Amino acid sequence: MRLVIIGGSDAGIRAGLRARQLDPITDVQLVVADDYPNFSICGIPYYVSGEVPDWRSLAHRTKDDLESAGLQLYLQERAVGIDVDARTVSTVFGAGETRAIGYDRLIIATGALPNKPPIAGLDQLGADDGVYLLHTMADTFAVTQTLDRGARSAVIVGAGYIGLEMAEALRNRGLDVTVVEQLGQVLPRTLDPKLATLVETELERNGVTVSCDTAVTSIARSDFGLQVNVSLVDQPGSLAADLVLVATGVRPDTQLAVDAGAKTGFGGALFVDTGMRTNLPDVYAAGDCVHTHHRLLDDPTYVPLGTTAHKQGRVAGENAVGGSATYAGSLGTQVVRIFDLVAAATGLRDPEAAGAGYQPATVYSEPYDHKVYYPGATPIALHLTGDTVTGRLLGAQLVGGSSAQIAKRVDILATAIHYGGSVDDIGTLDLSYTPPLGSPYDAVQIAAHAWRDNQIT
């Protein structure tokens, strides 16, 4: 059986490995547009910062590893067409050579493309000018070359995860960094404003200038480098920079599949069922190019995360060789480190929950990460969202110090939501305790009690 996969990275590679694991005689062929089939894009900020000294360390698996596992790789080869009737994928490689690769089953894992906001001048500027849409290893090398040439200042457009991680990375490289966000807070799609303020304070404490409610109107070359023109509450201004990074999210890369007749779903992402099947015969899709089934929502959404892509790729690879796996759905669980602070979220925020038909309440609490008498105890700012009718846990947001085990704690809450737990269920969990690491009631349990007390009063 010939299984062709378009795209590498998380979903494509995971699918190919799973297929070979279950059916070692399957002929798995991956068409990858660059030379980096299995690199951690999530690790790019830590290579830029110098925390990961060798870019090769970002490879989940080397080319030799993948070929040893039985995957045939077509690197630097771009898929340009899918003929569903003929069951072929047309590709271009080398100096314009073409070929048609036949398949019995096909998995589309084309990922996402960076959003390009309507900023005047952005289409005319690129890496040679010091303007980047950081998304690939090639983009990464271009950024580090600019840094090695002595860049001293940077403007980052967008205060989402990547924008803030890159703010830390560039600040650690000694640059003057300004983050510009069109909305009224940092991490606007992740945290409520009260918790986002803590993140903004941490950025400023580490020398990052943050300008929210600020739209970038244009970028242009100047005698002094780059000029970033902005509008702050309708008041024009400008910023000078040696480097501009546009990090305003991503959109699904679907044109190849759509041209072949694939249906799209939420946000223009490819429509798939929970088995990662498209509407095309024997064609599956996974990763950042597809919409995502959500465990708390009736309708799919779009959650372009590495964790989601890995799980979807595994399901697609298993089903492509005759399995019956099902993607269990996402909660959008995320965590990010910003200097000495960690922010995490899972599930739904209050407005999202209300829009989905729940009757939510969100309660703020500030429990300590461990017993206060043991040195180093720090508070965790915590928003817990539950349904006031059923008591079901719907979501959580946490912000705390880097030693406060924020990732562990959000994972506890994500697990409870995944299995339909209530807020009260959190309070009864038998969690570990020792004074240097926690309390008899863990911070997440104290937050659950606060939520329940709020409903009583």
| Count of structural domains within the chain | 3
138 and 105 in a common domain: no
Strands 209-211 and 176-180: parallel
Instruction: Establish if 42 belongs to a structural domain.
Output: yes
304 and 236 in a common domain: no
Instruction: Establish if 334 belongs to a structural domain.
Output: no
At 361 the pLDDT is 98
Q: Which of 188, 221, 246 is the last residue of a domain?
A: 246
DSSP H or E run through 237: strand 235-241
Instruction: Establish if 331 belongs to a structural domain.
Output: no
At 230 the pLDDT is 96
List the CATH number of the domain containing 166: 3.50.50.60
Of 415, 385, 448, nearest in space to 195 by CA:
385
Instruction: Establish if 327 belongs to a structural domain.
Output: no
226 and 267 in a common domain: no
Instruction: Establish if 335 belongs to a structural domain.
Output: no
254 and 242 in a common domain: no
189 and 260 in a common domain: no
Q: Which of 320, 353, 370 is the last residue of a domain?
A: 320
Instruction: Establish if 285 belongs to a structural domain.
Output: yes
The domain in which residue 431 lies consists of 340-456
278 and 309 in a common domain: yes
Token output for 23: 């059916």
At 456 the pLDDT is 85
CB–CB of 61/258 below 8 Å?
no
Backbone angles phi, psi at 78, to 5 degrees: -105, 130
Q: Which of 246, 269, 291 is the last residue of a domain?
A: 246
At 233 the pLDDT is 73
Q: How far apart are CA 211 and CA 69, in angstroms?
A: 48
Instruction: Establish if 195 belongs to a structural domain.
Output: yes
154 and 223 in a common domain: yes
151 and 260 in a common domain: no
3-state secondary structure of 56: helix
Token output for 131: 């303007």
58 and 9 in a common domain: yes
CB–CB of 369/438 below 8 Å?
yes
152 and 78 in a common domain: no
CB–CB of 203/167 below 8 Å?
yes
How many residues comprise the chain?
457
CB–CB of 394/425 below 8 Å?
no
398 and 433 in a common domain: yes
Which of the 8 DSSP states describes residue 176?
E
Give me the tens of pLDDT residue by residue for the chain, a chain 457 residues long: 999 999 998 999 999 999 999 999 999 999 999 999 998 889 999 999 999 999 999 988 989 999 999 999 999 999 999 999 999 999 999 999 999 999 999 999 999 999 999 999 999 999 999 999 988 999 999 999 999 999 999 999 999 999 999 999 999 999 999 999 999 999 999 999 999 999 999 999 999 999 999 999 999 998 889 999 999 876 789 999 999 999 999 999 999 999 999 999 999 999 999 999 999 999 999 999 999 999 999 999 999 999 999 999 999 999 999 999 999 999 999 999 999 999 999 999 999 999 999 999 999 999 999 999 999 999 999 999 999 999 999 999 999 999 999 999 999 999 999 999 999 999 999 999 999 999 999 999 999 999 999 998 6
49 and 96 in a common domain: yes
Residues facing residue 29 across a β-bridge: 4, 72
